[in-house]
């Protein structure tokens, strides 16, 4: 049997002859490639985008110019629409970004004309700007309220040893007590003090200032732990006890925790001679439902 090769040559020699089964294998219909095989065999070509780009961001629709999306080179949007990456489209041909689109309009407004969002949306837009890596927008948002004030607040909290750990302890103790008692709320005692050394009225005549030095042996006489659940302090800053209380309540509220507090007195623990601890003690009430 004479077999025609792909090069169009005919040969009747035994070495060149092929069996009928070999010939059938050569002429078998190719199987339909799987998605994985197709992806390996046919790499996607660079994507071409129109000048006016329709977008579907998490189910919300937007339309903008391609140049707007590429305004800043070192952003995720510029990379996505550079043509180097494939972006899927929805059934209407809009380019799909799998992200909540609630604040995407604010992102586009900044890329278009440098507009910044109103104060109540600054924090949320900041998170979106972080996701899309829009450095100029991040810089602008960090320079206005409330983010500018938050930077100052965090600088103060940076002076506070174990601040985040103490917050977690408040939450865990309150949760455990509420579950044990099957109650809507739980109460715990929190000490918040600014000065390293306890100050009493008896000390004032002996010292011209509230900031004074004691020898190491004297300092040890004043070392103690107030009988409370959590203790914050000391710290060195102009911000006082009420400022730290505001931070504690703010950070707990940001986690959806309802908290009330009131001063219930001072530690009043006897230390030595006529010295007593006068660190203020606060009762925190955490309501769970």
pLDDT of residue 8: 43
Per the CATH hierarchy, to which homologous superfamily does domain 52-144 belong? Potassium Channel Kv1.1; Chain A (3.30.710.10)
Helices then strands, each counted (H, E), the chain: 11, 11
Average pLDDT value over all residues in the chain? 82
Query: pLDDT tens-digit profile of 57-70?
Result: 999 999 999 999 99
In this structure, what are the phi and psi dihedrals at residue 155, rounded to the nearest 5 degrees? -65, -40
How far apart CA 49 and CA 82 sit, in angstroms, is 9
Query: Model confidence over 11-43: pLDDT tens digits?
Result: 444 454 444 444 444 444 444 444 444 444 444
Domain ranges, ordered by start, for the chain: 52-144, 158-200+225-287
Buried b (16+ CB within 10 A) or exposed e, 66-91: eebbbbbeebebbebbeeeeeeeeee
Q: What are phi and psi of 122, to 5 degrees?
A: -60, -45
Contacts of 144 (CB under 8 A, 6+ apart): 116, 119, 122
H or E, element range at 189:
strand 185-192
Position with higher pLDDT, 213 vs 192: 192
pLDDT in the model for residue 210: 42
* Eight-state DSSP code of residue 4: E
Is pLDDT of 121 > 60? yes
* pLDDT exceeds 90 at position 277: no
pLDDT, position 278: 85
Contact 246, 173 (CB under 8 A): no
Residues 6 or more apart whose CB falls under 8 angstroms from that of 82 comprise: 70
Rounded distance between C-alpha atoms, residue 277 and residue 269, angstroms: 5
* Type and span of the H or E element at 248: helix 241-254
Which residues on adjacent β-strands are paired with residue 232?
A: 192
The pLDDT, as a whole number, for residue 273 is 73
Could you tell me which residues come within 8 angstroms of residue 174 by beta carbon, excluding any fewer than 6 positions away? 186, 188, 284, 286, 288
Mean predicted confidence (pLDDT) in 181-200: 84
Secondary structure of residue 6 in the 3-state scheme: coil
- Predicted local confidence at residue 242, as pLDDT: 94
Residue 204, pLDDT above cutoff 70: no
* pLDDT surpasses 60 at 216: no
Alpha helices in 81-215 (DSSP H): 104-113, 122-131, 135-142, 147-157, 163-181
* Angle formed at CA 98 by CA 92 and CA 100, multiple of 5 degrees: 105
Q: Above pLDDT 90, what percent of the chain?
A: 63
pLDDT at 2 over 70: no
Whole-number pLDDT of residue 129? 98
What is the C-alpha separation between 5 and 11, in angstroms, rounded? 9
Residue 115: φ, ψ to 5°: -70, 140
| Alpha carbon distance 233, 225 (integer Å) | 11
Which pLDDT belongs to residue 200? 53
215 has pLDDT over 70: no
- Bigger pLDDT: 257 or 210? 257
Residues in CB range of 29: below 8 A, 6 or more apart: none
* Residue 20 DSSP class: H
- What mean pLDDT is predicted for residues 80-94? 94
Beta bridge partners of 284: 188, 261
């Amino acid at each position: 049997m004479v077999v025609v090769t792909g090069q169009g040559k005919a040969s009747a020699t035994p070495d060149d002859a092929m069996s009928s089964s070999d010939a059938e294998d050569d002429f078998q219909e190719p199987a339909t490639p799987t998605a994985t095989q197709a992806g390996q065999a046919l790499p996607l070509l660079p994507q071409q985008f129109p000048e006016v780009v329709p977008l579907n961001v998490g189910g919300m629709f937007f339309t903008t110019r391609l140049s707007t999306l590429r305004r800043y080179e070192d952003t995720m949007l510029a990379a996505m629409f550079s043509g180097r990456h494939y972006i899927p489209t929805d059934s209407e041909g809009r380019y799909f970004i799998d992200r909540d689109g609630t604040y995407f309009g604010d992102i586009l407004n900044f890329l278009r004309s440098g507009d910044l969002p109103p104060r109540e949306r600054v924090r949320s837009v900041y998170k979106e700007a972080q996701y899309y890596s829009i450095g100029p927008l991040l810089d602008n948002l960090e320079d206005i309220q409330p983010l500018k004030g938050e930077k100052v607040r965090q600088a103060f909290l940076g002076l506070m040893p174990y601040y985040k750990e103490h917050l977690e302890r408040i939450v865990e103790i309150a949760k455990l007590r509420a579950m044990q008692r099957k109650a809507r709320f739980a109460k715990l005692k929190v000490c918040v003090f600014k000065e390293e050394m306890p100050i009493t009225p008896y000390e004032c005549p002996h010292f011209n200032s509230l900031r004074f030095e004691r020898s190491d042996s004297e300092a040890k006489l004043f070392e103690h732990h107030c009988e409370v659940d959590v203790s914050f302090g000391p710290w060195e800053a102009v911000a006082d006890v009420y400022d730290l209380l505001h931070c504690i309540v703010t950070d707990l509220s940001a986690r959806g925790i309802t908290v009330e507090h009131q001063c219930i007195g001072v530690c009043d623990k006897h230390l030595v001679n006529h010295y007593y601890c006068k660190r203020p003690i606060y009762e925190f009430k955490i309501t769970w439902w």
